[in-house]
A and B are shown apart, each in its own frame.
Chain A
Amino acid sequence: MRSVAAEREAVLVERAKAGDRDAFEELVRRHAERLYAVVLRFVADGDEAQEVTQEAFLRAWRSIARFEGRSRFFTWLYRIGINEAKRRAARRPPVVVTSLEDEPVPEASDWSEAPEARSDQRDLLDVLEQAIRGLPLEYRAPIVLRDVEGLSTAEAAEAMGLGEAALKSRLHRARLAVRRALDQYFLDAEP
């Protein structure tokens, strides 16, 4: 059974499909910030993320009449946004710095219980952001959608056009890679 919010959104989508601009603008208000947050982690900076978000909504508006409702509106929208971000990223030379090797960092300690004061929390979040940005795009999307934005596995798979098994496999490898980057961070921080 769909929630009241989902029902309202379905009504907005139907109206937008019929050409109702007000309904589409309400969809923009609902989803713009979250789409921006996703594409921000695929592009160079906030300005480019804004351009990609704008372009994604423009494409969505131009093609919403063909949206068949087989996926949820926001996963369809995320897919458009991610594809646009990937298209732009493909123009730049690849910058992959986060290793997808599974091997643990030698000598790394168990930092799972490390108090926040051991290192500056801002530094830690920066390391996480850099590790995400260093992942190949096909591994970056699952971790951004699932772990940062909090989509379910089914929603993230839908947004990427993948099966759930493939999504889970990429997600696990991406998580291990980011975890490994933190291994290195805590190792470097040790006195």
Chain B
Amino acid sequence: MIRRLLQRRRFMREHRWTHTHLSDYLDGNLDRAGRERVEDHVGLCSQCRRVLATLRRTLAGLRALGTPRRPDLADGIIEHVRDQG
């Protein structure tokens, strides 16, 4: 009973830590121990596994948003600065 309780507390501690560090993990900001800590927990926790996978996909989508092309923009700004500056 006590052993199970301690296991549960440890799991939840790792759950919170992992949830807070998923971006650091994806950005390569964790050292080896940190990476292993995330991977160990993700191996055990289906919720964190799903959040990590979908967060990775979210980042790919954000990077695909891109920059709208406005080739005429600079000329207009230069004119504005010449007039006002």
Contacts and interface: CB of A to CB of B under 8 A. Distances in A.
Contacts of B29: 153, 168
Contacts of B70: 32-33, 36, 50
Interface string A103-114: 010000011110
Contact-residue bracket for chain B = 35 or more
Contact of B51 (A46, A61, A104, A168): A104
Interface in A141-191: 143, 147-150, 153, 168, 171-172, 175-176, 178-179, 182-183
Contacts of A104: 47, 50-51
A40 interface: yes
B59 A110 contact: no
Interface stretch (B3-11, B34-42, B72-80): B72-80
Nearest to B68: A37
A50 B73 contact: yes
Given A58-B80, A172-B22, A111 B61 contact: no
Nearest to A152: B27
Contact of B85 (A46, A61, A124, A149): A61
A8 B51 CA distance: 43
11 contacts: A28-B77, A29-B78, A33-B74, A40-B68, A54-B76, A129-B65, A168-B23, A171-B23, A172-B20, A175-B58, A182-B58
